Amino acid sequence: MFEAAGEVTRYRSFESQGPKPGADMGFEIKRIGVIGAGQMGNGIAHVAALAGYEISLNDLSTERIQLGLATINGNMTRQVNKKAISEDERVGALGRIRAAENLDALADCDFVIEAATENEQVKRKIFQQLCPVLKPEAMLATNTSSISITRLAASTDRPEKFVGVHFMNPVPVMQLVELVRGIATDDGTFELAKGFVARLGKIPTVAEDFPAFIVNRILLPMINEAIYTLYEGVGSVDAIDTAMRLGANHPMGPLQLADFIGLDTCLSIMQVLYEGLADSKYRPCPLLVKYVEAGWLGRKTQRGFYDYRGEKPVPTR
């Protein structure tokens, strides 16, 4: 969940890096279902459509789906302007994405990726409603950034066909995808997931099914510590972010990054770490809790550690 510097990379097909021997070679992923048309979901739909997959994009309302489609179009237009993709590629990719206004519309999907809010009960409910409409051979994945893959898989009727596929934010820019198998995930499912990630032009890294996996196990405690540094008065928002940009060569400061991720998501991940590992070093900072309770969630609500309602962001503390 770290914004990369530089241009968006061109998407390429990596069929030669597809499933290895041992995968179910009789099963081919052609249509991808994406549940959640927000920041992560529309990014996944974006890169998968450019890679040649047919996409069914689902969310709670038609308005959310249309907003997701508009975001995809805008982001692809920027790629065209940067000459990262051609206009023909943009038009072709958009033509491969259809709106799926209910879960029944995902019945013909070969692989469904859940990218809903980072809340375990919400995700489990989605899977319980989704499984009865899927064909038996369909695979399932979650884009969770912290929640147990094994537990989520257990809420489905196909834990052996369930895998964690955690994209980084923003999806069209970031190269890494964390692949996480649950205790029941079979080899064929895992190899097909690796082939899918490779075809997107992404680089997979394999993480074990522990709270927050690799990236957020390291990144979020750093952000939480930055919030404690603010909470205890060691430095202001501007001082902390400037120190980490110039002193540690980070592309953005930790509080700016927290606003970009979403303070509610940061809190959810820290709660998973704190509850899952029972170590006080993962206790969410009370100031983070206070901001979330106030509805100050960062960029998406226009206020967080910065106020984004003016011409330029202004620190709120």
Residue 52 is part of a domain; what is its CATH number? 3.40.50.720
Whether 130 has a pLDDT exceeding 60, the answer reads: yes
- Of the residues 178, 191, 224, 268, which is catalytic? 178
Q: What's the token pair of residue 189?
A: 């499912």
Q: Quick one: pLDDT at residue 114?
A: 98
Same domain for 186 and 68, yes or no, is: yes
Q: Quick one: pLDDT at residue 212?
A: 94
Average pLDDT, the chain: 92
**The total number of structural domains that make up the chain:** 2
Same domain for 103 and 76, yes or no, is: yes
Same domain for 282 and 200, yes or no, is: no
Same domain for 86 and 172, yes or no, is: yes
Mean of pLDDT values over 250-274: 96
- Of the residues 166, 169, 191, 268, which is catalytic? 166
With bands split at pLDDT 50, 70 and 90, how would you rate the model's confidence at 27? confident
Same domain for 236 and 169, yes or no, is: no
Mean of pLDDT values over 39-55: 97
Each residue's pLDDT tens digit, 65-94: 999 999 999 999 999 999 999 999 999 999
Q: Is residue 80 part of a domain?
A: yes
Each residue's pLDDT tens digit, 282-310: 999 999 999 999 999 999 999 999 999 99
- Of the residues 58, 143, 148, 216, which is catalytic? 216
Domain end point (choices 177, 207, 237): 207
Mean of pLDDT values over 44-53: 98
Same domain for 252 and 118, yes or no, is: no
Each residue's pLDDT tens digit, 154-176: 999 999 999 999 999 999 999 99
Mean of pLDDT values over 181-200: 97
Q: Quick one: pLDDT at residue 2?
A: 39
Q: Quick one: pLDDT at residue 3?
A: 38
Mean of pLDDT values over 268-294: 96
Q: Which domain holds residue 90?
A: 15-207
Same domain for 222 and 201, yes or no, is: no
Is residue 46 flagged as an active site residue?
no
Q: Is residue 2 part of a domain?
A: no
Exposed e or buried b per residue across 180-215, where buried means at least 16 C-beta atoms within 10 angstroms of its C-beta: bbbebbbebbbbbbbbbbbbbbbebeebebebbbbb
Same domain for 179 and 311, yes or no, is: no
Is residue 178 flagged as an active site residue?
yes
Q: Quick one: pLDDT at residue 25?
A: 53
- Of the residues 75, 145, 169, 224, which is catalytic? 145
Q: What's the token pair of residue 92?
A: 């072709």
Q: Quick one: pLDDT at residue 12?
A: 37
Exposed e or buried b per residue across 127-159, where buried means at least 16 C-beta atoms within 10 angstroms of its C-beta: beebbebbeeebbbbbbbbbbbbbebbebbebb
Q: Is residue 78 part of a domain?
A: yes
Q: Is residue 259 part of a domain?
A: yes
- How many residues does this entry show for the chain? 317
Domain end point (choices 182, 207, 232): 207
